[in-house]
Amino acid sequence: MLYPIATESRVVVNLSGIWKFMTDKEVEPIEVSQPLPTNEVVAVPASFNDQTVSKETRMHSGYFWYEKEFTIAKALRNERLVLRFGSATHEAWVYLNGKEITYHKGGFTPFEVEINNYLVDGPNRLTVRLSNLLDYTTLPVGNYSEEKDENGRIIRKVDENFDFFNYAGLHRPVNIYTTPRDYIEDIVIVPNVDLAAKKADVHFSIKTAGAFDEVRVTVLDEEGKQVAQASGNDTNISIDNVQLWQPLNAYLYTAKVEGVKGGETVDVYEESFGVRKVEVSSGKFLINGEPFYFKGFGKHEDTFVQGRGLNEAYNVLDINLMKQMGANSFRTSHYPYSEEMMRLCDREGIVVIDETPAVGLFHGFGFDLSGKNANSTWSVLKTTEAHEQVIRELIDRDKNHACVVLWSIANEPASHIEGAHEYFEPLFNLARQLDPQKRPCTFVNILMATPNADKCSDLVDVIALNRYYGWYLQTGDLSKAEEETRKELLEWQEKYPDKPIMYTEYGADTVAGFHSAYGEPFSEEYQEDYYRMNSKVFDEISNFVGEQLWNFADFQTKFGIQRVQGNKKGIFTREREPKMVVRYLSNRWNNIPNFG
């Protein structure tokens, strides 16, 4: 699915702004033939939760409604008109002028529908019913329960099986875009680069709908100069003296794709792409033939008021802070991030580990670290279908992004429990089959799934570990934590000598401004000591290819005795003020080259 852009043949109408809003108390059915019976409003794109002063609305679990009126200019009415949601969290039923026109489940991927047949002259009423319910069939996984109150009303509850607040709503842009009746439907770009010859063969497959006499692809360089041109739905273009897309030194070509009919260009779409080679070989992660070292973060889409909604100013600031620290990468923990962020990373040369929303695949997670309930994980959870769907939708959406170098199929599943391998093997096969660029794949491993216990690491190209020695284990005892860290990393290296190893999480909750002469846990001193200890061990391990800490910034979570208005493992506060450790890490990372 192509990202909506304006071109010589396409117009984008942005429906962002103020929408009507109401939660559904499920007392009386909502009549979609009528305007929503509410005076409440919310801004789109954003989560609804933090825009209200009502605690009840903020914490609402169940169904809720959005509505917006729009008019389409007469000049556009003969075009093909497509309504597109960047995402709708987590499930959406879409009505236009009272008729259901589409449905989508899964809160982090786009979907679209043609609307010509449902439009009326004058104002059109777009109504969306959403649900933020999560259960054992959805991704992320939620612990769902319901009860009836004294009036017989159903009270629904979702206890997140993961450590971030269950923000919901229309988090990403809602657009109507036009195409001609004959149009370019999708573009798949696969660059193959001969590094020694500085030459790339770029394969384009163009999916079109309707009848074109010719499909033409023109590759333009960053100055807009033509590099090469070819014709056909399946075509190769060679680029001599190719400029590579490099981490923190991005170079983007543009593929101008034209559908031509009767000598006239009918539809035009421009897709930018980078030429780079990603491989895993002999315990190294190679980008453009050189061993790359990941320095960076696990993140969240999480800001004040907007919640999980697109916040482009924060995206820009976050990348600027990363660059200033000498970081080069992040993981989209724990769900696909906005398309706007992916496009920004392409342009800024930020390397991305692209993660599905498969988080919480651990029965009883959070209140049962002993793992008693975990034993039933793979018989209790029914997430296979949702998991296949998110892999399909994520790879379909992000396949052309140069910034994406590794797919993360899941975060912290119970990969040490019987049944895990059977669950994951087909999913890894699916991802590998679907990705036209054949990027490496991994899943992010939880601390109980040690080298002896884990059942799935044979499936991965990169061993990606979330470890909390010195925080959840050996709390406050960094010398014991150092021993455990070293011991486990050496065990992984011995067991899988050809697989690169990296940390995708390590961190310590730290209350900004809290100091301790004894370096106690939660103090800024402890956070720094904790990172110094980890760095020391990383530098001893030869197959260690990267450190992505947890977390870039403090973020909102559900309530819990371990959380003080959210998770405080950020090295920045939620406002993006640095904690003390940022100086140490900036110094370290600015002195570690991206390659070597």
Q: Which residues are catalytic?
A: 412, 505
**Residue 567 makes contact with ligand GCB by CB under 6 A:** yes
**Calpha distance 73→63 (Å, rounded):** 32
Residue 444 · residue 546 · CB < 8 Å: no
Q: How many chain residues touch ligand GCB (CB under 6 A)? A: 10
Output the six-digit token pair for 218. Answer: 């023109």
**Residue 510 makes contact with ligand GCB by CB under 6 A:** no
Nearer to ligand GCB, 412 or 524 (CB): 412
**Residue 138 makes contact with ligand GCB by CB under 6 A:** no
**Residue 550 makes contact with ligand GCB by CB under 6 A:** yes
Nearer to ligand GCB, 259 or 336 (CB): 336
* CB of 485 vs ligand GCB, minimal distance in Å: 15
Of 61, 87, 132, 411, the one binding ligand GCB by CB under 6 A: 411
* CB of 532 vs ligand GCB, minimal distance in Å: 19
* CB of 53 vs ligand GCB, minimal distance in Å: 27
Residues 320-339 that bind ligand GCB (CB under 6 A): 334
**Residue 412 makes contact with ligand GCB by CB under 6 A:** yes
| Residue nearest ligand GCB (C-beta atom) | 163
Of 398, 461, 505, 525, the one binding ligand GCB by CB under 6 A: 505
**Calpha distance 437→205 (Å, rounded):** 12
Nearer to ligand GCB, 423 or 552 (CB): 552
**Residue 302 makes contact with ligand GCB by CB under 6 A:** no
Q: Is 575 helix (H, G, I), strand (E, B) or coil?
A: coil
* CB of 80 vs ligand GCB, minimal distance in Å: 41
**Residue 554 makes contact with ligand GCB by CB under 6 A:** no
Burial of 242 (0-12, 13-18, 19+ CB in 10 A): buried
**Calpha distance 330→348 (Å, rounded):** 13
* CB of 448 vs ligand GCB, minimal distance in Å: 11
**Calpha distance 328→548 (Å, rounded):** 10
**Overall residue count recorded for the chain in this entry:** 596
Nearer to ligand GCB, 62 or 298 (CB): 298
**Residue 362 makes contact with ligand GCB by CB under 6 A:** no
* CB of 582 vs ligand GCB, minimal distance in Å: 18
Count of CB atoms situated within 10 Å of the CB of 31: 10
- Fill in the amino acid letter for 385: E
Nearer to ligand GCB, 330 or 550 (CB): 550
| Peptide bond preceding 334 in cis form (omega within 30 of 0) | yes
* CB of 407 vs ligand GCB, minimal distance in Å: 17
> x/- string (CB under 6 A) for ligand GCB, residues 108-137?
------------------------------
Nearer to ligand GCB, 302 or 529 (CB): 302
Residue 160 · residue 555 · CB < 8 Å: no
Of 272, 400, 466, 485, the one binding ligand GCB by CB under 6 A: 466
Strand order in the sheet with 264-273: 226-231, 214-220, 253-261, 264-273
Phi, psi of 477 (to 5 degrees): -110, 85
Nearer to ligand GCB, 51 or 377 (CB): 377
The 8 Å CB, 24+ separation contacts for 375-381 are: 375/417, 375/418, 377/413, 377/414, 377/417, 377/419, 377/420, 378/414, 378/417, 378/418, 378/419, 378/420, 378/422, 378/423, 379/419, 380/136, 381/136, 381/141
Nearer to ligand GCB, 131 or 567 (CB): 567
- Give the H/E segment covering residue 483: helix 478-495
* CB of 471 vs ligand GCB, minimal distance in Å: 8
Residue 241 · residue 198 · CB < 8 Å: yes
**Residue 163 makes contact with ligand GCB by CB under 6 A:** yes
Output the six-digit token pair for 515. Answer: 């100091």
Helices H / strands E in the chain, number of each:
9, 30
Residues that bind ligand GCB (CB under 6 A): 162-163, 334, 411-412, 466, 505, 550, 567, 569
